Amino acid sequence: MTTVDPDRPAARLVVGVNGVVEQGDAHEGRASARDVVMAYVGLTKPRVIELLLLTTVPVMFFAAGGVPDLGLVVATVLGGSLSAGSASVFNCVYDRDIDEQMRRTRRRALPRHIITPRAALVFGFVLGILSTVVLWAWVNELSAGLSVAAIAFYVFGYTMLLKRRTTQNIVWGGIAGCFPALIGWTAVTEELAWAPFVLFAVVFFWTPPHTWALALRYREDYKQVDVPMLPVVRSARVVARQIVAYSWVMVATSLLLWPVAGTGLVYPVAAAVLGAVFLVQAHQLERRARGTEDLAVIRPMHLFHSSNLYLSLLFVAVAIDPLLH
């Protein structure tokens, strides 16, 4: 098996479309199947896919008023995973220049030159086409259309237009991550309604606190590559205040599902408790950020991890409520 030091430009391991390895000017060989597979899987950002599916499947339970058809769930999960993977691959291709300079992303396949940009681009199109075919053939046309819209918005709206130009990049760019709530609902009902839009809005207002907490941790990386994330151009206290404001709106929006959709008591109780805990943590972050820029004091990653747990448990409540109501 060929071993390569990714930090040495003279010995770059590049996997092309045909799987052939080009290692600088030294020699050519073949990458192991595991190297190739893991590199391509990494491009799809599996953790992002997991989070998106966590908002898709519970909404299907909610839309069905119980347990949805298993085959439909499988098709929606497969199509949604391919769609999210496609968007992530395109993002990796476009951002490979800044990913190479950031600590958080420089170990990805493209910055390490494990896969060529052309091969990655082909991979992204293949995933996008497959996701559309799966959703169109085994779910419905509306869900397929929403999936295509999500990919387009993430690639053109966020990655290419907003990310490098405005501090509002993840506020509006986060819309792409809200589509799974709509796709999960339409997969079951074949139509849109107010309930999925409430959940769409919950994810929309959840995204800034979640992402800004992470951006605080890596603000020097974003500053180095001139990406104007809010923590780069504003003080930690200003960012924390924005996190608190969005958190309050997020919690208030989450409670709207109760009257809008006529849920049972499981969901509103869970939303209220989870929201209260999250608001306490957001305010604690704001207090820690007063008069200091020291990340060891502010501890933004605590809120980042809490935000993942909050969204996960909230959507678990979305799935459980109709089973008990």
Q: What is the pLDDT of residue 32?
A: 72
Residues 224-247: tens digit of each pLDDT: 999 999 999 999 999 999 999 999
**C-alpha to C-alpha distance for 133 and 155, rounded to whole angstroms:** 20
Work out the angle at residue 78's Cα, subtended by the Cα atoms of residues 77 and 83, and round it to the nearest 5 degrees: 95
- Report the residue count for the chain: 325
| Res. 31 pLDDT band, cuts 50 70 90 | low
pLDDT category of residue 106 using cuts at 50, 70 and 90? confident
Average pLDDT over residues 302-314: 97
> Does the pLDDT value for residue 12 go beyond 60?
no
Nearest to 6 by CA among 116, 108, 119: 108
- 145 pLDDT exceeds 80? yes
SS (H, E, C) the chain: CCCCCCCCHHHCEEECCCCEEEECCCEEEECCHHHHHHHHHHHCCHHHHHHHHHHHHHHHHHHHCCCCCHHHHHHHHHHHHHHHHHHHHHHHHHCHHHHCCCCCCCCCCCCCCCECHHHHHHHHHHHHHHHHHHHHHHCCHHHHHHHHHHHHHHHHHHHHHHCCCCCCHHHHHHHHHHHHHHHHHHHHHCCCCHHHHHHHHHHHHHHHHHHHHHHHHCHHHHHHCCCCCHHHHCCHHHHHHHHHHHHHHHHHHHHHHHHHHCCCCHHHHHHHHHHHHHHHHHHHHHHHCCCCCCHHHHCHHHHHHHHHHHHHHHHHHHHHHHHHC
pTM strictly above 0.85: yes
Of residues 7 and 161, more confidently modeled: 161
Predicted local distance difference test score (pLDDT) of residue 30: 56
Q: Stretch 46-55: mean pLDDT, rounded? A: 91
